[in-house]
Structure 1
Amino acid sequence: MADSDLRELGEDKSLLLVDDDEPFLRRLARAMEKRGFEPETAETVAGGKAIAMARPPAYAVIDLRLEDGSGLDVVEALREKRPDARIVVLTGYGAIATAVAAVKVGATDYLSKPADADDVVNALLAKGDELPPPPDNPMSADRVRWEHIQRVYELCDRNVSETARRLNMHRRTLQRILAKRSPK
């Protein structure tokens, strides 16, 4: 990390990380620590809100979907206690509607997983309306399509017929797509 990045962090380097994917959470915490942040982690909405209320951090990276609810509840709690906090919402289910909802409740930016630590730092440190640079390795169109199909499949409780109906595709076509590995 360059010295200019350290200066951009300012005095308060506190960072709240909330994600229910524990291995990802540990990796991100280590990576952010190496970049000068002082991370504190939580795996639930309740844990994230407790930290936000007790010790509101200057920065936060919050997963949208957590096992005990929506990460947007943590965003709202943090925004209430610390209006100047820079908050990035992460999710494996990237959609325009959820991005709009995240920004409306106070998120600074919105990133789809998989996002690496550099993408997160760029989003956290972007100034004002300045957009962070585009990712070095964006998902391919095939991968985005596959992620969307997987998301709808999960939302339909892994019911192939219901998923096919909602995606307006033939059930057998969907079965072939689901049987394949994810594209790069």
Structure 2
Amino acid sequence: MADDSFDSPKAAQETIESDLSAIGPDRSLLIVDDDKSFLTRLARSMETHGFIVTTAQSVAEGLAEIAQSPPAYAVIDMRLADGNGLDVISELKAKRPDARGVILTGYGNIVTAVTAVKLGAFDYLAKPADADEIFHALMATNHDKAELPENPMSADRVRWEHIQRIYELCGRNVSETARRLNMHRRTLQRILAKRAPR
């Protein structure tokens, strides 16, 4: 995590005032992550920046917080024990279209980045992201949509990435993955045994 210490009390005060004016009048921030130590550190850092932080450790808790009071800002881990963080970002945008949400993931790829942005995420950061990176992503004003990549993945690679993602979400269970993808088990096994296409 970034070091949130300051050189002097005056510098600290100026930084806090600058952060508060950037955040705006509604300083509510929801952080959803099932890594408790990361969640605690990030919550503390975001409070230092001036946010009023609420935390959740699952999709269910995140959805409950949004139903109760949709926040102005959100930082949501993509892979949670009980489901996908994209469900939380989607619900947040439905309840509060002006909210700014950032998706965090340790499993970054272009396919899920585009999906996250389509569902309403303002940005997409790969873990480990520090508090300053996350703060700047929440405050950014110059990117409302994902940029077109220089070298986009081939259609074969996109298909392979999607299959890998479903396989991981199914706990690496071949039979369950094949059922979910409506694919023959042997066909899936052949795809999983091959290297990723370019």
TM normalised by structure 2 equals 0.67
Match of 2:60 in 1: 46
Q: Which secondary structure state, in structure 2, belongs to the residue aligned with residue 77 of structure 1?
A: helix
Tell whether 2:193 aligns with 1:165: yes
In structure 2, relative to structure 1, the CA distance for the partners of 1:53 and 1:158 (3 Å cut) is closer
For residues 13-54 of structure 1, the C-alpha deviation after alignment (integer angstroms, 9 at most, x for no partner) is 100000111111111101111111111000110100010111
Q: Cα RMSD (Å) of the superposition?
A: 2.7
Tell whether 2:92 aligns with 1:78: yes
Tell me if the contact between 2:122 and 2:144 (Cα under 8 Å) persists in the aligned partners.
Answer: no
Match of 2:78 in 1: 64
- Provide structure 1 residue ranges, at least 5 long, that are not aligned to the other structure: 132-147, 169-184
- Provide structure 2 residue ranges, at least 5 long, that are not aligned to the other structure: 1-11, 146-160, 175-188
Question: Size of the alignment, in residue pairs?
Answer: 149
1:163 Cα deviation (Å)? Answer: 9.9
Match of 1:123 among 107, 112, 137: 137
1:123-162 aligned at under 5 Å gives the runs 123-129=137-143, 155=168, 157=172
Letter in 2 for 1:32: M
- Which whole-Å CA distance do the structure 2 matches of 1:162 and 1:16 have between them? 42
In structure 2, relative to structure 1, the CA distance for the partners of 1:71 and 1:162 (3 Å cut) is same
Determine what percentage of the aligned residue pairs are the same residue. Answer: 53
Match of 2:120 in 1: 106
Name which one, 1 or 2, has greater alpha-carbon Rg. 2
